[in-house]
Structure 1
Amino acid sequence: MGQESGHGPNRDVAATSQGRLSARPQAIAQPGGLPVGLSRLGLEEGRDGLLFVPRGLDPARPAPLVVMLHGAGGEAAHVMGLVEPAAAAQGFVVLSPDSRLGTWDVIRGGYGPDVAFLNRALERVFAGAAIDPGRIAVGGFSDGGSYALCLGLANGDLFSDVLAFSPGFAAPAVTTGRPRIFISHGDRDEVLPVDKCGRRLARVLREGGYDVDYREFGGGHVVPPEMVAGALARFFS
């Protein structure tokens, strides 16, 4: 990798093209800029996304954040429901953006608009809520699981954990840090076959030195509740 140099738009574009995110949590004396409960992000008129903020966030105890990414042809609501009940009970924030088009940019040919939009969404969350910089996870299902792996591996200095449910691949342009990785996959998945996807990814990532928790379940291209519970338990461990 080449050295980073300079500042401004050119550097931002270069970072975005590598899947790099610049948004970071900040100290907030009086949070409250984000609506409590489930709401739209409010960044775009069309494809936008959802945000869930539990009640009673204490700025003296910054909250964990989970970023959830939907599958191909999906939208934020398809994955928000997987974690919203746990977020309300355990007190963590959930950000779920919509992809700009039918699926995530790298799957369509290269990093760019989805990285930029996610960065905007993260900046909004970080400006309105006290977030624990050591407890930020990126997760997703199917294409969203693949994209979570891509972004998590590229931004291990931001994400402590990656929660990949039935992912197909991981293709980070760069790697940074060593996030912990949770992967679940159904042994009868006909969309993304387990042997070519979940099993192979777990093996390759372990060989690369990552801390991987791989769990296989009996079933197809789905996200069983127990896999979500297992991923979150590991995230909070």
Structure 2
Amino acid sequence: MTAARRYAVYLAPPSDGALWRFGSAALGYDAETGAALAAPDIAGFDAAAWHQATAEPRRYGFHGTLKAPFRLADGASEDDLVQLMARCAAGHHAFEMPPLEVRAIGPFVALVPAVPSPKLEDLARSAVLELDGLRAPLSASEIARRRPDRLSARQLGYLETYGYPYVLDEFRFHMTLTGPLPEPERVQALNALTAAFAASGADVPATITDTALYVQEPGAPQFRLLRRYPLGATQ
């Protein structure tokens, strides 16, 4: 089978804002320009150790997931996806993100909203439901990577139906900053990133004005930001 592009629908902060700069610097990669970035000064980690700690999230670029990576179904085209994404984004309005906090989520560290955001949750729900008709079914290896034996019955049902277990009422928005880390390194990263985030100017609420389509070319190591779709745009 010929390798196919993979797509993902993400929330990506404005690329001229402090939040995008902070997240991209933390990962060592700017998904909009494709540029590798120098490792930041993270207390307790040298450049090589931090590069390894962020290897997993760097593959995807800085983002918050709305619809997890997928391939297009047979008969579906990128033009179909572009049109449907524009229509989905047009049904929502720009909104202010709640303040974000650096937290540990299981073994990794991420930025998460300090309080719930119904507008964000509604946007994610729309992306999952309205775009799923273009998604190819998961392969057996893709299902296995989601560790179905560790999922709840509801999460397993979502994996089978939507290709991702953490959607709809299981959705928890986050912007990943590290890969899985052993507890001592995770605590160190949590403390260092909390201080760096506070010093960056990125800890003020960001206004979200669009959704973003990311793409991974066959054989490419990372996703790139392909295009943004304004919220509330006129069709």
Please confirm whether the aligned pair reaches a TM-score higher than 0.5, indicating the same fold: no
TM-score by length of 2: 0.21
